[in-house]
Chain A
Amino acid sequence: MTVSPNSDVQIDWRSAVRTGLIGAAVALFVCVVGIVPVFHQRALIKDIISLGQTVLVLTALGIGARGARAARATGARSLLPAMLAAGIAGGALTALILVGQVINLRGVFLNASPDLYDLLTFGLGASGAWIPLVSFAAIGTLGGPVASLPTAFRRPITTAVLTLLLAALFAGIFRSAMLTTPLAATARVLFAPVGLTVIGAIALVIAFAGGRELLAYTHVRQRVSALPRVQRRVVLWPIYGVLALAVLVMPQTLGPFVAQVVALVALYVLLGLGLNITLGLAGLLDLGFVAFFAVGAYTVGLLTSTAEYGIADWPFWAAVIPAVLLAMVFGAILGLPILGIRGDYLAIATLGFGEIIRVLAGSDLLKPFLGGPRGILNIPKPIDVPPDHILAGPNQIYYIALICAALIAFVAWRLRASRLGRAWLSIREDEDVAEALGVNLVQTKLLAYMLGAAFAGLGGAIFAGLIGSIFSSSIQLQVSINVVAIVVVGGMGSIPGAVLGAVFLIGVPELFREFSEYRFLFYGMALIAMMLYRPEGLIPTRFATRELHLDATQTGGEALLPPTEAG
């Protein structure tokens, strides 16, 4: 047996205990806040394990792994510290159950109920209080060695767990979508109404974890990127084609609820791409983006509504152009006085403008014109079709938003590579030096601000068409914050990043309405994790990646070099 170089290092028991205490706080938190009980309603694998139990298992594994790492122990030596850390966390749950028998905790923690205790003890209640302690310690013990496994073993485990979690979360949607197609029989085999079937779980794990390993072992990625350009296209274009087709048929196959959600996602993609010019390229942090969204929406409302407050009865499309232009004019009016200020101060000023517009829209002052909280109703659909038509309902908004987003992506892509894009980037990097090189700051910033405003106005116009009405309560600070988060999470200045950001931050939460109570909790956790582990965004621009992962690419490059001299 080889002695690992670490084996003479003392195991740091104190750190393991500390990790255990932190883990105890986490375990208590997820239980009494109610995450575990709510997730217990859904199955991961039908009749075998619920999502709530999965949360507990993953917590125990995680605490074990962290405990072993904190104790600086690897391999067989990691078993004891991992067991200790996870045991402390499990002990906290045991203590919770015992305390709960004596004192009624429900006055403060609604979820500290007998239901929770039954969940934790497999229905045994107080007499099974020892179960969390023992099961956490047992599962946590596994976490230690798992964490010190080499990547080749750890990767398939990670893939399998992620596959199961995602598949189980989306099982209902997949199932109902496939039931209307020839795949109905397959759907019944793979998916239960909530969660996966045993066969489904096994099949999906083999397909995804196995497939990923196959791709990794055969070096498909490297081979494809090593191909000459023409051949690479031959390989990649069919893949893009299939993806594009999937995007096109998505609202048709997944039902009206999902269609509504994807339409909202497409709308936020559009807004994200708009702010990507202002914030991503020019670096102007605009927290009042919703103001221009409001201008676009209300303009369309006023010009098209057939109900009260409507002034022109225009068709939808005729109203879009003045909506966009008016948003641009507002961008200029609001932008001119404030673009001289920088950074945080600009953010505060734009935040103020956004709030002013929001308050004005709901105010008594403008009520005779904008309808106040009652809003403007009866905004016509962009395309008038019978209700059973392929373009009826949210589907048509989805396609319209998709086309507009594609258009904006094209505009943003072209601008980025132009002299204006370079000027914006230089302002983001160092505006003093940019000005000293002859870049007119006011002009250049104003253009970025106005273009962003125009795209927000377009988004507002489409939103008005989607909802069919516009209320002052639709104009919320939350919209601005969502859009900023999309740009930052996706990757500043990155066009595919804005798309992915919108899918993650808008689409996924919408699909899990039943967990909506915890939406901001997960939002916050996701944002903190992003800033810690991937500050450049999900799909960063070229240089941002290099900046943060240079070491990895350099060593990789050296390893690929052939030996130049023999002995």
Chain B
Amino acid sequence: MPLLVAKGITKRFGGLVAVRDLDLEIEPRSIVSVIGPNGAGKTTLFNCIAGWYRIDAGEIAFEGQMISKLRRDQIARLGIGRTYQNIRLFAGMSVVDNVLVGRHHFLQAGWIASVMRTRGVQEEERKAHDEAVRLLRFVGLEGGVQSQASKLPYGDQRRLEIARALATEPKLLMLDEPTAGMNPAETHRMTEFIGRLRDELGITILLIEHHMRVVMGISERITVLDYGEKIAEGAPREIQANPRVIEAYLGRGAATAHHSTRPQPDPGTGEAPAP
């Protein structure tokens, strides 16, 4: 049974249809990528799944449960975690506190017990703290856990955002352009790391990514969006050969002129050219 099933979801903003009648199925323990030109509706799709937007039509089921009417925190508790295209850390809080916010709903302490700092609360806090530090080490953040989150270098902020999402113990992790702004070496490390998330933690990954090398390298399935509609779906090899995908990325003329070429990544940036 698929982990996530979306059927016919549509999201409109006024007259603009950002996502139109979209179907999506994600198998457990798979890595699925969503690609498409800028403005194709990729992040909107994430926001629909995670409960940031109410969808106008269709249904989303996670492990057989309808989630399209739930609040963000309820969806997070069911096991859907995410990161953001523009990093959204709690900039004024410490590194470890960022991760601990992700543990919030696993902790029980009420306000009276917290003021009393009972034995149970102390134990719970200590465990949560150890768990947070373990996660930080797992994502490769060594350094001081008490330093301010916004003082971290860019790449580490991306890692911290992933650690924070992992703290909610997600079954499905949605990564929105995790390698944006990274150099080739960092991108390579991040790609490997995404693989480890699936292989070691068994987490299903839904990925938005512009680096075609990353997408083609680690995805089992790829969904291609253009103007809010799914124009192709399949294994990387099929996608690379699909004329509609080439057309969406390079324009109709290019598609007919080089109908046999694949959307090759730009050697300079590793990024597929935008239309």
Segment at the interface with A among B21-29, B54-62, B83-91, B213-221 = B83-91
**Is B52 a contact of A418 with CB atoms below 8 Å?**
no
A432 to B101, CA, bound (A): 13
The bracket for how many chain B residues form the interface is 35 or more
The bracket for how many chain A residues form the interface is 20 to 34
**B230 shortest CB reach to chain A, Å:** 25
Q: In the complex, what residues of B have CB within 8 A of residue A432's CB? A: 52, 72, 88
Q: In the complex, what residues of A have CB within 8 A of residue B107's CB? A: 419
Q: Which of A447, A544, A546 has the most CB of B within 10 A?
A: A546
**Is A547 a contact of B148 with CB atoms below 8 Å?**
yes
Indicate whether A436 sits within 8 Å of B50 (C-beta atoms), given known contacts A415-B114, A419-B100: yes
**Is B92 a contact of A439 with CB atoms below 8 Å?**
no
Those of A149-199 within 8 Å (CB) of chain B: none
A430 to B84, CA, bound (A): 13
Q: In the complex, what residues of B have CB within 8 A of residue A350's CB? A: none
Interface string of A544-561 (1 = CB under 8 A from B): 101100000000000000
**B97 shortest CB reach to chain A, Å:** 5
**Is B97 a contact of A437 with CB atoms below 8 Å?**
no
A433 to B128, CA, bound (A): 20
Partner of B104, one of A414, A422, A429, A447: A422
Indicate whether A437 sits within 8 Å of B88 (C-beta atoms), given known contacts A423-B101, A426-B93, A547-B148: no
Interface string of B14-47 (1 = CB under 8 A from A): 0000000000000000000000000000000000
A420 to B114, CA, bound (A): 8
Indicate whether A437 sits within 8 Å of B92 (C-beta atoms), given known contacts A419-B104, A423-B101: no
Indicate whether A436 sits within 8 Å of B114 (C-beta atoms), given known contacts A419-B109, A546-B148: no
**A458 shortest CB reach to chain B, Å:** 15
Partner of B105, one of A410, A411, A438: A438
A433 to B104, CA, bound (A): 13
**B101 shortest CB reach to chain A, Å:** 4
Interface string of B141-155 (1 = CB under 8 A from A): 000000010110000
Q: In the complex, what residues of A have CB within 8 A of residue B71's CB? A: 435
A432 to B82, CA, bound (A): 12
**Is A440 a contact of B101 with CB atoms below 8 Å?**
no
Residue of B nearest to A423 (CB): B104
Task: Let me know if A269 is at the binding interface, CB within 8 A.
Answer: no
A-side interface mostly: helix
Q: In the complex, what residues of B have CB within 8 A of residue A411's CB? A: 115
Q: In the complex, what residues of A have CB within 8 A of residue B93's CB? A: 422, 425-426, 429, 543
**A519 shortest CB reach to chain B, Å:** 33
Q: In the complex, what residues of B have CB within 8 A of residue A133's CB? A: none
**B166 shortest CB reach to chain A, Å:** 11
**Is A414 a contact of B101 with CB atoms below 8 Å?**
no
**B86 shortest CB reach to chain A, Å:** 11
Those of A308-331 within 8 Å (CB) of chain B: none
Task: Let me know if B13 is at the binding interface, CB within 8 A.
Answer: no
A415 to B121, CA, bound (A): 12
A280 to B49, CA, bound (A): 33
**B32 shortest CB reach to chain A, Å:** 20
Partner of B168, one of A422, A438, A451: A438
Indicate whether A429 sits within 8 Å of B121 (C-beta atoms), given known contacts A436-B73, A438-B102: no
Task: Let me know if A338 is at the binding interface, CB within 8 A.
Answer: no
**Is B114 a contact of A430 with CB atoms below 8 Å?**
no
A508 to B116, CA, bound (A): 35
Partner of A437, one of B101, B121, B150: B101
A415 to B113, CA, bound (A): 10
A439 to B94, CA, bound (A): 18
**B57 shortest CB reach to chain A, Å:** 23
Q: List 7 A-B contacts (CB under 8 A).
A: A414-B116, A421-B114, A423-B104, A425-B90, A425-B97, A447-B111, A544-B92
Further 9 A-B residue pairs, CB within 8 A, beyond A414-B115, A437-B165, A543-B148: A419-B109, A420-B109, A426-B101, A434-B101, A436-B82, A437-B73, A437-B167, A439-B104, A441-B73
A interface residues (Cβ-Cβ under 8 A, vs B): 410-411, 414-415, 418-423, 425-426, 429-430, 432-441, 447, 451, 543-544, 546-547
Closest 3 CB pairs of A and B: A418-B114, A438-B105, A429-B90
